[in-house]
């Protein structure tokens, strides 16, 4: 039996505002519990929410970036349910008229093809607080600092057909909100989290199967594993004569499985209605035009430009535009060097990326600036040093030993390009290895590499490799 998986994702992105969506309390992460929860966030009687302009602007930016319809008029609604981390007894959200409607995102798949994923809607809402279930004498502890943090809930169409597609979509969306500067994308701190709706159906069946929703997936890896587990669970269940029930499940990363959320057995009955505390959000053309004017170059456009402007492969351009900062760093390197964009790409994606990775740093924390890197590449370009020596210089740059020129000077790494000096080294090597010389001349060609190695070793890697090759070939002929 061939099965088809149908997945839709709901992604919650915390918007990177200074203050909350309906109050002037700070949204900074990591504060002492409840020190950033004001009367409005606590839902005390008599308070009124007032919408944060910046949250609205960020939602509009997102809508424009995904080619969606930005609603000139949208409405806030109350989603009613009781839970201690939601002190009002309802969450302010948007229901019938969300601010962003009908957009799309193109994802790149591993086989090199791409696929357009529909985005049904994105709406503004407030985040809830946090419940801590450690033992407080049999009670739960509630921290409401997060309550009222602005969220953009982004709902996809059920267009995703595998765990890999779901992850590709989630990564693309993550890249987008971080590029736009509307979300810090920090998944560990919960700034970007995902609920996945998953169902399976027999291939060719026009009807969707019954779906299960997996809540609160906060890493790309968990999303992939949870979906894969869930697909298999549903198929096994149906093939053994059972039925999938519509329910909410939680992913347990330790066991690698999803489990039914028992205890929440009541069907949700949210009784949405327009929030009488809030007037409709009306956005005029001027507001939307200003948001459009503030859009940065978007990932796909930047990638395409890198291919055209710098002659990079699509793969390289994709890596270098993974984040805005990396793209900026690359372009600053090319600008400082003034040529050889491919050489710059190789170094940014190669040695620099490896060192960043090793020290677990972002490009913004690189101890080697783009100008410094360009300074090093210039010395490869003008043959002052070889590519191999450049690696040593880069290490010294990373360690903060000054600019490339100073390091080359101080360590005496300047490449030897003087023919007579190289010849002298070659003569010494040949004289020291009569046996190998005889073998080489008897036809053992692969000993050429041995001689090159010896010359490079004796010159401490400083002899110009191209000259060594030429001169050595000449000398070995005898």
Partner 1 sequence: MSLGPAEVAKIAHLARLAIREKDAPAYARNLSAILDLVAQMNAVDTTGVAPMAHPLDMAQRLRADEVAEPNQRKHFQAIAPRVEAGLYLVPKVIE
33 near partner 1, judged by CB under 8 A: yes
Exposure b/e, 323-344, CB count within 10 A at least 16 = b:
bbebbebbbbbbebbeebbebb
For residue 201, the minimal CB distance to partner 1 (Å) is 30
34 near partner 1, judged by CB under 8 A: yes
**Under rule CB under 8 A, how many of the chain's residues touch partner 1?**
56
Considering only 24, 256, 296, 364, the residue that binds partner 1 (CB under 8 A) is 24
- Tell me which residues in 107-146 interact with partner 1 (CB under 8 A): 131-133, 136-144
Q: Determine the 3-state secondary structure of 451 from DSSP.
A: helix
261 near partner 1, judged by CB under 8 A: yes
465 near partner 1, judged by CB under 8 A: no
DSSP 299-324: HHHHHHHHHHHH---HHHHHHHTSSH
CB atoms within 10 A of CB 12: 19
Give, as one character, the DSSP assignment of residue 71: P
Asked if 67 and 102 count as a contact pair (C-beta separation under 8 A), the reply is no
Asked if 63 and 122 count as a contact pair (C-beta separation under 8 A), the reply is yes
- Tell me which residues in 67-106 interact with partner 1 (CB under 8 A): 75-76, 80, 82-84, 89, 97
Cβ distance to partner 1 smaller for residue 279 or 432? 279
53 near partner 1, judged by CB under 8 A: yes
360 near partner 1, judged by CB under 8 A: no
288 near partner 1, judged by CB under 8 A: no
Cβ distance to partner 1 smaller for residue 293 or 431? 293
β pairing state of 212-217 and 247-252: parallel
Specify the stretch interacting with partner 1 by CB under 8 A; choose among 46-54, 114-122, 321-329, 450-458: 46-54
Helix (H) or strand (E) holding 194: strand 192-202
Considering only 7, 9, 13, 56, the residue that binds partner 1 (CB under 8 A) is 56
Using CA atoms, how far apart are residues 368 and 329, in angstroms rounded to an integer? 10
Cβ distance to partner 1 smaller for residue 90 or 306? 90
β pairing state of 100-108 and 114-126: antiparallel
Specify the stretch interacting with partner 1 by CB under 8 A; choose among 32-40, 62-70, 377-385, 464-472: 32-40
Helix (H) or strand (E) holding 80: strand 76-80
263 near partner 1, judged by CB under 8 A: yes
Asked if 186 and 38 count as a contact pair (C-beta separation under 8 A), the reply is no
Cβ distance to partner 1 smaller for residue 52 or 156? 52
Cβ distance to partner 1 smaller for residue 28 or 473? 28
Specify the stretch interacting with partner 1 by CB under 8 A; choose among 49-57, 61-69, 233-241, 375-383: 49-57
Specify the stretch interacting with partner 1 by CB under 8 A; choose among 23-31, 109-117, 185-193, 395-403: 23-31
Closest CA to 92 of 52, 137, 142: 52
Residue 421 phi/psi, 5° resolution? Answer: -65, -40
Considering only 55, 68, 194, 227, the residue that binds partner 1 (CB under 8 A) is 55
Longest dimension (CA), the chain: 99
- Tell me which residues in 235-254 interact with partner 1 (CB under 8 A): 250
Using CA atoms, how far apart are residues 374 and 296, in angstroms rounded to an integer? 25
Considering only 11, 13, 38, 389, the residue that binds partner 1 (CB under 8 A) is 38
Asked if 31 and 144 count as a contact pair (C-beta separation under 8 A), the reply is no
- Tell me which residues in 268-287 interact with partner 1 (CB under 8 A): 269, 271, 274, 276, 278-282
Asked if 148 and 34 count as a contact pair (C-beta separation under 8 A), the reply is no
Interface residue list for partner 1 (CB under 8 A): 17-19, 23-26, 32-39, 42, 44, 50-56, 75-76, 80, 82-84, 89, 97, 131-133, 136-144, 250, 261, 263, 269, 271, 274, 276, 278-282
């Amino acid at each position: 039996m061939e099965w088809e998986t149908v997945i839709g994702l709901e992604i919650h992105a915390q918007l990177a505002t200074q203050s909350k969506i309906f109050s002037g309390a700070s949204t900074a992460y990591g504060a002492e519990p409840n020190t950033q929860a004001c009367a409005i966030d606590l839902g005390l009687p008599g308070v009124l929410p007032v919408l944060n302009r910046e949250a609205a602007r960020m939602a509009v930016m997102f809508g424009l970036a995904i080619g969606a319809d930005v609603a000139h008029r949208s409405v806030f609604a109350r989603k009613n349910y009781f839970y201690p981390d939601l002190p009002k007894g309802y969450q302010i959200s948007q229901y019938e008229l969300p601010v962003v409607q009908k957009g799309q995102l193109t994802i790149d798949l591993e086989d090199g093809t791409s696929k357009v994923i529909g985005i049904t809607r994105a709406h503004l809402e407030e985040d809830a607080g946090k419940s801590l279930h450690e033992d407080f004498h049999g009670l739960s502890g509630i921290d409401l600092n997060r309550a009222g943090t602005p969220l953009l809930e982004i709902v996809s169409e059920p267009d995703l057909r595998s765990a890999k597609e779901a992850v590709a979509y989630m990564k693309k969306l993550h890249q987008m909100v971080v590029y736009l500067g509307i979300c810090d994308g920090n998944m560990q701190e919960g700034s970007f989290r995902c609920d996945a709706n998953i169902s399976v159906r027999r291939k060719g069946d026009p009807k969707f199967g019954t779906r299960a929703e997996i809540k609160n997936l906060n890493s790309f890896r968990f999303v992939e594993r949870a979906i894969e587990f869930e697909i298999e669970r549903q198929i096994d269940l149906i093939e053994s004569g059972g039925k999938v029930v519509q329910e909410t499940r939680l992913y347990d990363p330790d066991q690698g499985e999803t489990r039914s959320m028992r205890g929440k057995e009541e069907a949700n009955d949210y009784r949405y209605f327009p929030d009488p505390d809030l007037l409709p959000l009306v956005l005029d053309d001027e507001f939307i035009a200003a948001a459009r004017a503030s859009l940065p170059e978007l990932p796909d456009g930047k990638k395409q430009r890198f291919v055209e402007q710098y002659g990079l492969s699509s793969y390289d351009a994709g890596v270098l535009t993974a984040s805005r900062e990396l793209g900026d760093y690359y372009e600053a390197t090319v600008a400082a060097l003034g040529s050889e964009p491919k050489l710059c790409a190789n170094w940014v994606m190669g040695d620099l990326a490896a060192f960043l990775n090793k020290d677990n740093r972002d490009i913004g924390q690189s101890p080697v600036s783009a100008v410094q890197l360009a300074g090093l590449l210039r010395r490869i370009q003008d043959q002052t040093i070889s590519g191999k020596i450049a690696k040593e210089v880069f290490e010294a740059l990373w360690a903060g030993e000054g600019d490339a020129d100073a390091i080359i000077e101080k360590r005496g790494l300047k490449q030897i390009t003087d023919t007579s000096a190289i010849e002298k080294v070659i003569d010494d090597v040949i004289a020291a290895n009569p046996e190998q010389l005889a073998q080489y001349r008897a036809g053992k060609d692969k000993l050429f590499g041995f001689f090159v190695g010896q010359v490079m070793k004796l010159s401490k890697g400083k002899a110009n490799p191209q000259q060594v090759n030429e001169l050595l070939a000449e000398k070995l002929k005898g």
